[in-house]
């Protein structure tokens, strides 16, 4: 196996790992509202979402083309740069998942790639016009539009039905959430599944194994679809708690309005090739549905923290990507160092998450996610006069 082929294979495996983290990081987008309102049991919800994520990956390749042939100049990009960008995106995804923060996996990927390419190829390696038109502008417009639509839809139904949450018709909205939540899962697969397809296609082009300007191969579509589906099935419960219980205490009517507007926005943008963040669209819809009933029902402090996370995601991932690229581009040893850092960082974050686990049994219990920075002493070993364990609340 040549050095180039080995590097390409390494990048493809890393891209599929990113796709897996994308699945469990963003599974809350599709099913958090359905789980929060009791429309679907947690395990049933993620099972449906996983199947539809895989299905959605086969519906379009426009976003994949935006990444593989639009966002960066493939003539100047190397597989090492792509590898560095993926490592940055994975670590940012895992960090935000640890704290239950619904940040954008898409923007983490875009930021990581941009930072790595800027270090490796300079300004000429990044097509900023494409980034502005197909990434930044949709990132601003889509959540706002989805939020306004959800607010108007919620307000309309509450004005038509007296005591809407207690009205017998409310049970139909709970049943309808099975359909609307499924549509988001399908839309998520269509949009986010393509991003990994685009990355793998890009590395095949830069490695000389595929012609520039061509779309993803069938095996790439299948592999990306399965990876994001498996990630979705794993749950992503920490972020689901924030999306379902942290922003708004949702009722079925609001959940249906939020899911319907989110699915419509995501599907439309995917077929136009926009690199939209499904997380931001779904969060905008949830806030809109809460504000449509009564603005005071939205927990604006949590919404503000999420907004700060959105602002930080792209530049932070870009900084991670730039740092990873600076090390990886020094040679084979540099690539190994970055790979070891990825494995060590991933295992460390996983270990921290297990100290304050969120799972399908407690995902609807509380609106916050707690991260224990040190292990809680057992009841037997802790004396009555011991100081309390201090947790960090995300």
Per-residue pLDDT of the chain (394 residues; tens, 9 = 90+): 577 788 899 999 999 999 888 887 776 666 777 777 777 787 888 888 888 888 887 877 676 776 766 778 878 888 999 999 999 999 998 998 888 777 788 888 889 999 999 999 999 988 888 888 877 887 788 788 888 888 888 888 777 776 665 666 667 777 777 888 788 788 777 777 778 888 898 889 888 888 887 778 889 988 988 898 888 887 667 777 776 666 777 777 777 888 888 888 877 776 676 766 777 788 888 888 888 877 767 777 877 877 888 888 999 999 999 999 999 999 989 999 999 999 999 999 988 888 877 776 776 665 566 666 665 554 444 444 444 433 333 3
Position 384 scores a pLDDT of 42
| CA–CA gap between residue 57 and residue 72 (Å, rounded) | 22
Q: Which residues contact 261 (CB under 8 A, 6 or more apart)?
A: 146, 149, 150, 153, 285, 288
| Relative orientation angle of helices 278-293 and 170-206, to the nearest 10 degrees | 160
pLDDT, tens digit, for every residue of 337-346?
Answer: 999 999 999 9
* 65 touches 197 (CB < 8 A): no
pLDDT, tens digit, for every residue of 15-48?
Answer: 999 988 888 777 666 677 777 777 778 788 888 8
Distance of CA 129 to CAs 48, 116, 126, 168, 224, Å?
37, 18, 9, 51, 27
- Which pair of tokens denotes residue 317? 């991932």
- SS3 of residue 129 by DSSP: helix
| Relative orientation angle of helices 3-36 and 42-56, to the nearest 10 degrees | 130
Position 254 scores a pLDDT of 77
> Strands 392-393, 370-371: parallel, antiparallel or unpaired by DSSP?
antiparallel
Say if residue 95 is exposed, middle or buried (CB neighbours under 10 Å; 0-12, 13-18, 19+): middle
Position 381 scores a pLDDT of 41
Region of 38 please: left (phi>0), alpha (psi -120 to 50) or beta.
left
Nearest to 202 by CA among 74, 23, 310: 74
Position 112 scores a pLDDT of 94
Buried b (16+ CB within 10 A) or exposed e, 166-197: ebeebeebbebbbebbbbbbbbbbbbbbbbbb
Say if residue 272 is exposed, middle or buried (CB neighbours under 10 Å; 0-12, 13-18, 19+): middle
**DSSP H stretches of helix in the chain:** 3-36, 42-56, 62-66, 79-98, 105-121, 128-131, 137-160, 170-206, 218-233, 237-241, 252-271, 278-293, 300-328, 332-354
- SS3 of residue 388 by DSSP: coil
* 325 touches 119 (CB < 8 A): yes
| CA–CA gap between residue 390 and residue 142 (Å, rounded) | 39
pLDDT, tens digit, for every residue of 94-134?
Answer: 998 888 777 788 888 889 999 999 999 999 988 888 888 87
pTM of the model: 0.79
Dihedral, CA of residue 58, residue 60, residue 63 and residue 64, to nearest 10: 50
DSSP string over 232-246: HHT--HHHHHIIIII
Say if residue 354 is exposed, middle or buried (CB neighbours under 10 Å; 0-12, 13-18, 19+): exposed
Nearest to 96 by CA among 108, 87, 85, 82: 108
Position 214 scores a pLDDT of 79
Domain boundaries, the chain: 3-393
| CA–CA gap between residue 200 and residue 188 (Å, rounded) | 18
């Amino acid at each position: 196996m040549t050095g180039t082929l080995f590097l390409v294979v390494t990048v493809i495996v890393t891209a599929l790992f990113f796709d897996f983290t994308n699945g469990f990081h963003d599974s809350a987008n599709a099913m958090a509202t359905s789980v929060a309102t009791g429309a679907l049991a947690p395990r049933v919800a993620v099972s449906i979402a996983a199947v539809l994520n895989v299905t959605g990956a086969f519906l379009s390749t426009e976003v994949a083309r935006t990444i593989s042939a639009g966002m960066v100049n493939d003539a100047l990009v190397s597989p090492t740069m792509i590898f560095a960008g993926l490592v940055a995106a994975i670590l940012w995804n895992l960090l935000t998942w640890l704290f239950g923060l619904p940040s954008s996996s898409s923007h983490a990927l875009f930021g990581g790639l941009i930072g790595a390419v800027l270090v490796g190829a300079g300004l000429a390696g990044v097509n900023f016009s494409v980034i502005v038109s197909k990434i930044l502008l949709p990132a601003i417009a889509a959540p706002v539009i989805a939020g306004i639509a959800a607010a108007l839809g919620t307000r309309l139904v509450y004005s038509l039905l007296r005591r809407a949450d207690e009205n017998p018709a409310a049970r139909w909205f709970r049943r309808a959430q099975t359909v609307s939540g499924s549509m988001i899962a399908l839309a998520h697969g269509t949009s986010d599944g393509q991003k990994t397809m685009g990355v793998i296609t890009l590395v095949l082009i830069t490695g000389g194994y595929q012609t520039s300007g061509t779309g993803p191969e069938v095996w790439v579509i299948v592999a990306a679809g399965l990876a994001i589906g498996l990630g979705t099935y794993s749950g992503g419960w920490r972020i689901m708690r924030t999306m379902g219980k942290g922003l708004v205490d949702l009722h079925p009517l609001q959940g249906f309005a939020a899911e319907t507007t989110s699915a419509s926005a995501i599907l439309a943008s995917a077929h136009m090739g926009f690199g939209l963040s499904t997380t931001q669209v779904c969060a905008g819809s949830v806030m809109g549905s809460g504000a449509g009933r009564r603005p005071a029902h939205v927990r604006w402090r949590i919404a503000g923290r999420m907004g700060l996370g959105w602002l930080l995601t792209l530049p932070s991932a870009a900084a991670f990507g730039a740092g990873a690229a600076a090390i990886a581009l020094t040679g084979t040893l540099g690539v190994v160092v970055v790979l070891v850092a990825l494995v060590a960082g991933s295992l460390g974050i996983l270990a921290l998450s297990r100290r304050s686990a969120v799972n399908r049994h407690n995902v609807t219990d509380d609106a916050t996610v707690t991260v224990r920075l040190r292990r809680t002493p057992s009841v037997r070993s802790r004396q009555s006069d011991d100081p309390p364990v201090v947790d960090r609340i995300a």
